[in-house]
Structure 1
Amino acid sequence: MSRDIIILAPNGRRIKVHCTPDTSFLQVLEDVCEKQGYEAGDYDLKHHNHIVDLTTTIRFCNIPNKATLEMVEAERKRVEANVTVGLMLQDGDRRTADFSPNTTLHSIIVSLAENEFSQLKNPSVTYMRQEVVGVAALKEKTLRQLGLIAGRAILRLLEKTEPMQANVSSVYRSSKPEKDKIELREHKEGNVETPNYSANLEKAEASDKEVAHMEVDKNKFDTITSIIKNEKQRVINKDNGIHIKDSSSDHTVVKDSENKSTPKEKPGVKTQKHETQEELERRLRIEEEVTFVGSQKAIAFMQPDEAQDELSDLPDDFYELSIEEVRKIYHELQQKRMEMENTPLMTTSKRAELNSELSQETLKTYKNVVVRVQFPDRMILQGVFTPSDTIQDIQNFVRTHLQDPDKQFQIFSTPLKKSLDPKTTLLEAKFVPCVHMHFRWLEENSGSQYLKQEIYSRKTSSDAASILASKYRAPSRRKLDDNTGSSQATSSSSKQSKVPKWFKK
């Protein structure tokens, strides 16, 4: 992600500077001033009438490649001074000292934490969003190159065990990743012989090589490998018209044309139907499984302790867009822009009318609202309300279950913590069909339990609470039947419209 920045000097010359992602604008300015014979402390860099922060790196500057920056005289001359550096160790200890801007990071660490530094195999120093890894890089990097020529800064010393990546969404592990890898390995190692399909099997073999190339680090990317394997298998079956039946001992190939009269059923289909039937029966009997602790079908359960296992961070190439993806995104943006341009402007009364119609549609679709209130001790109180109920009704519901009902409290929604008006209905607050709120005391907590003691002893499992919530927040059956009927009527009318009028007569 290296870039070329063009600097327009006061003498009219344009200097092209090649920058790396970790290059600071202060270093760019000093390099240009050194070549042209200017004093770096007397000038700033301006881009589109905005003074650039010299401590910012190229990676986070939001400036395009080959952008032109102008050198302008600074309003106040920058004076270099010693930088007060606070070095934070892995155990949380912080050590402070003053250093000149030309001091290397290695010298700072040795002078402040020599014993801790000797114990690290692969040390790294993090400043803001910059990271310097390795002893060699620490010996070359100075405070000036980090953009520090005065003031204070905090550096963090860590042990770099494996590549880490910040600000990446969590990728969750699939339900059976190990089984998928074993099936993929068996399919690659097995000798499958199919007459008259050699060309197609060569395609499959080439696809296997691509999968093997992607499995360099298969412990981290087992989910991706599973997806590729399923997609590859689907393409092979589509091209060949072949069913491949995997077993623990051998691989047998059966043609579709030979088994059209008696199609073979996959071994996992019956089990899947059986599990679906069990889930349906449990959903119907879920009220017998949970323990109600009050009105509004109130139940209490503890938030699960452990989340799903997470994979390690994926590499940067995983998030790079292909040409087709960029074209698709561009096409969607064009369509959205055209829709916004062609949509007529609405008056306030028309907008209120549309909102009223949307509210009525929501009322027809959902008859219940599942409300969950989470307490600081991770206990969740769940109740079932109607869309016409107000926030005050929820507050009264919570108050009846508190250990100290006379104490003042507040319930709010997140993200962007928002206090709720007690007179607002759940429909007006757009909390239909479900909402997750949080509880807090307005005064200091004395440390006692939030809910009554019998509620903690009669709590329900989180799994059963989720099934009960999904049962009550589902759309009404009448709405689903209306949608089905309307779709059937539309399809029948479309079929009738295809018949010419002269043929009907």
Structure 2
Amino acid sequence: MSLTVLLDGHRKKVPVTAGTSMSDVLRKACELHDVDADRHELRHKNAIVDLSLPFRLTGISSNATLDMMAKRGGANDPVVRVCVQLVDGRRVQGNFGSSLTLAAILAQLQIHLSPEYDSLNFMRRDIRGPELDSLTLQALGLLSGSGMFRVQSSTSSPVAPPRVVAAPTPSATHVAAPMPAAAPLTPALAPVAAAPEPAVSAPSPLPSTPYDAIQRVRNSNFDAVSSTVVLTLMKILCNILSKPDEPKVRSIRTSNPKFVDAVGRHPGGIAFLVASGFAIDGDMLHLASESSDVLQAALRVLHTEADDLRIDHSARPQVQAPSSLPAPAFDAYQPLITRMQAQPRGASLTEMRLDDLKKKQDALLASSTPARQTRILFPHELQHAAMAAPTTVGKSDAQLLAQALKARQDAAEKSQSFRTLAMRELDDMQRRSVYQEAVLRVRFPDKVVLQAVFHPSEPLQAVADLVTSCLATPRAFYLYTTPPMTKLDATKSLLDLHLVPASNVFLGWTSPPTASTELGAYLNHDIVATYCPSALPVSCLDAV
């Protein structure tokens, strides 16, 4: 199998196998094209090829053509999180550019390796000596994300005593070699040489501190598995701190399938709980300590590891502070009502709209009394006014039918749904029109009309007072509407009598005036001359 790498129109074939790393493909292609591998990248169908993957996992078919292009951005070097695990299990990490060599990264982390005995392991590849000065993160396929390196020391190293691995092994005993006095100690390995471990390898004891136990978990698993273990342990500790008096959360059955899958089967999981105060009793773990200080310290260790694993804070369990208020005493005779539906708070939307319309109505009705604009019209003037009125085109039959159908549908919907008093008042207010003036025509028995403008809130007595002021001699009369004939109450307002915005009111004499052939003979002539200057005495026969 081979891949064709295209650069500026020049093609070069690079032989590959299923396990060939794409970083090796880039390196070989750059050697064939005589260019710098640190300044170029591979693209397949305009997508950047992940150099950390082997050829079989890239999804690229054999004999495919790849484009090699110069990196975009120039000085923008991708950042990779690098973690180096030392011989004693401690970890040192930092963020570095992908173009840095491994020797430069070790220098910045202040890690010193022995050229003869120490090596850096990455993906089962031992890197030592001159390779540390030549290999970069990009050459190893690390362009983003994170990478894990482990420092390994050969068994013949005079500065590295034999270590007991995480899992017990049936190997024979090893005697620790004495340290020569002349051998200089490197800073990274000095603490290990200062406290040599026992010479006989035995089954590893449980870590004594939560930090050691969680480090054992991380050393034995990938970050994805370690994140699950950390979150499960955080949940256990948070439940205990949230409910300190509940026995159920203070005991764990180690044979529980969920617990075994999340914590129990991983080295260091149960050891963390033991270091946090739990005691092993058969297949059960019981929290023996009553103090929460140990649990708080263990929880802080887990939060530190969660930050290192980049676990979002919203996904972490939190300690719920127990309520300080005592539970209310049970009273069988005290009613306790629990409503599942939210109860209204304050005025509803319908009530607010109704109040708004009422305020607008009150503002319009609060205006001052308009000018009377009194006019006296005789029958012949009314005929001329009616003849001069322009003709208006009414609605068509189709429009009337559509309007009636819509009104019927609205009425049916309102009758089916439950409607409160506020809803009914709102509908009434929306249908009602508010006027600041009301035009009334008082029709006398001889068809003479007295027209004036009133305020809707004025009582009918104001109309009667105007009529009385226009009569030559005060006479008793009453006002009514027809049909049917209904005498009007003088104490009610024009709005309550439904005489707004305009209406015809008829006048009836309680004591009729003296019969006369002249129209409006009962009116004051000065008033007639003022409100109808063009009026002349007209007889009843002429008017008809």
TM-score (norm 1): 0.27
Larger Rg: 2
Q: Which structure exhibits the higher relative contact order, with contacts defined as CA atoms closer than 8 Å and separated by 6 or more residues?
A: 1
